[in-house]
Amino acid sequence: MLHEANDAHESQDQKLVYMANQIATFFASEPDEKAITEIANHISKFWDPRMRSKIAAAVKAGNEGLLPRARAAIGLLPVVPKPAG
């Protein structure tokens, strides 16, 4: 059961990495600074706080699947406060 839960978390993380990389690819024709800012803006506007928190945790844990611009953009995101309780 625990193994299945870990697999589900890894699968969710990989989906978020895939999505962040898709956004980064969309902005591939832009200069680095503008692209990174736009990727971060998109994630901030359209991703649920839980998604942003998970992708930030994946980066912190050393997830290697992110494109460099996606990784840089995630580093610009504000810290998502954990819910009280």
pLDDT in tens, the chain (85 residues): 545 555 566 688 899 999 999 999 999 999 999 999 999 999 999 999 999 999 999 888 887 899 999 999 999 998 766 655 5
In a domain, 43, yes or no: yes
For position 2, what pLDDT does the model report?
A: 47
Instruction: Kindly state whether residue 21 falls inside one of the protein's structural domains.
Output: yes
Tell me if 29 is assigned to some domain.
yes
Query: Is 59 part of a structural domain of the chain?
Result: yes
Structural domain count, the chain: 1
Domain assignment of residue 82, yes or no? no
Long-range contacts of 66-72 (CB under 8 A, 24+ apart): 66/17, 66/20, 66/21, 66/24, 67/20, 67/21, 67/24, 67/25, 69/24, 69/27, 69/32, 69/35, 69/36, 69/39, 70/17, 70/20, 70/21, 70/23, 70/24, 70/39, 72/32, 72/36
**84 within domain boundaries:** no
64: in domain = yes
Let me know if residue 85 belongs to a domain: no
**Which residues form the domain of 26?**
2-76
